[in-house]
């Protein structure tokens, strides 16, 4: 019972955050709501017993990636979005479409999946077990991802670097 209540509460927080992300016009507000979403998702993970994943979610996702987002928003001094004709049209079509799609999907899922329940903390995802999997069965993807991260870092540095001045300054 408690499981259900907790799930619903934090589920509603997730959805509220997501909708707020769509509604807000200034990107910083959207970023903050996204952080809220990630936080409540971490709780959801905990409810499912995935401790390691929840911790990583908060540390990496909410703590690093979203901070990066906020820095970039700050750096580029992004302002509010203007309202143009195109944006009004897309809002008019998009929001009802999304709602309809979600309702349809929810109905399909609920009626067809049965009520097989998942217990709280059904699968304890202790770091030890995860590490076992990570370094045994999933060693190759692990190594590849690490190289991927390395490449991403290098790429980011190159892409975001200030371009060299094309002509040398005058002799002074």
Partner 1 sequence: MVPLSYYLVLSGILFACGVTGFLIKRNIITIFMSIELMLNGVNLSFVAFAAQWHQLSGQVFVFFVMVVAAAEATVGLAIIIAVFRTRETLNVDQVNLLKL
* Alpha carbon 167 to chain centroid, angstroms: 42
d(Cα 117, Cα 47) in Å, to the nearest integer?
Answer: 13
C-beta of residue 13 within 8 angstroms of C-beta of residue 34: no
User: Residues 6 or more apart from 14 whose CB is under 8 A from it?
Assistant: 37, 40, 41, 44
Kindly tell me which of 32 and 171 has the beta carbon lying closer to partner 1.
32
Count of residues in contact with partner 1, rule CB under 8 A: 85
How far, in Å, are 6, 43, 113 from residue 9 at the CA level? 5, 10, 22
Draw the binding track, 104-143, toward partner 1 (x: CB under 8 A; -: no contact): -xx--xx--xxxxxxxx-xx-x---xx--xx--xx--xx-
Kindly tell me which of 160 and 166 has the beta carbon lying closer to partner 1.
160
Residue ranges in 79-108 that form contacts with partner 1 under rule CB under 8 A: 81, 86-87, 90-91, 94-95, 97-98, 101-102, 105-106
Kindly tell me which of 161 and 170 has the beta carbon lying closer to partner 1.
161
Among 9, 72, 139, 143, indicate the residue that binds partner 1 (CB under 8 A): 72
Using CB under 8 A as the binding rule, whether residue 64 contacts partner 1 is answered as yes
């Amino acid at each position: 019972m408690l499981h259900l209540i907790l799930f619903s509460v934090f589920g509603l927080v997730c959805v509220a955050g997501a909708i707020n992300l769509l509604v807000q016009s200034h990107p910083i507000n959207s970023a903050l709501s996204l952080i809220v979403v990630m936080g409540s998702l971490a709780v959801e993970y905990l409810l499912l017993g995935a401790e390691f994943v929840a911790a990583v979610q908060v540390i990496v996702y909410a703590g690093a990636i979203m901070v990066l987002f906020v820095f970039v928003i700050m750096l580029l001094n992004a302002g509010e979005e203007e309202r143009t004709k195109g944006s009004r049209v897309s809002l008019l079509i998009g929001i009802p479409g999304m709602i309809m799609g979600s309702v349809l999907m929810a109905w399909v899922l609920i009626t067809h999946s049965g009520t097989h329940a998942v217990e709280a903390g059904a699968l304890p995802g202790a770091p030890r077990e995860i590490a076992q999997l990570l370094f045994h069965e999933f060693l190759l993807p692990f190594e590849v991802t690490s190289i991927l991260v390395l490449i991403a870092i290098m790429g980011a540095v190159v892409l975001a670097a200030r371009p060299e001045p094309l002509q040398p300054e005058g002799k002074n």
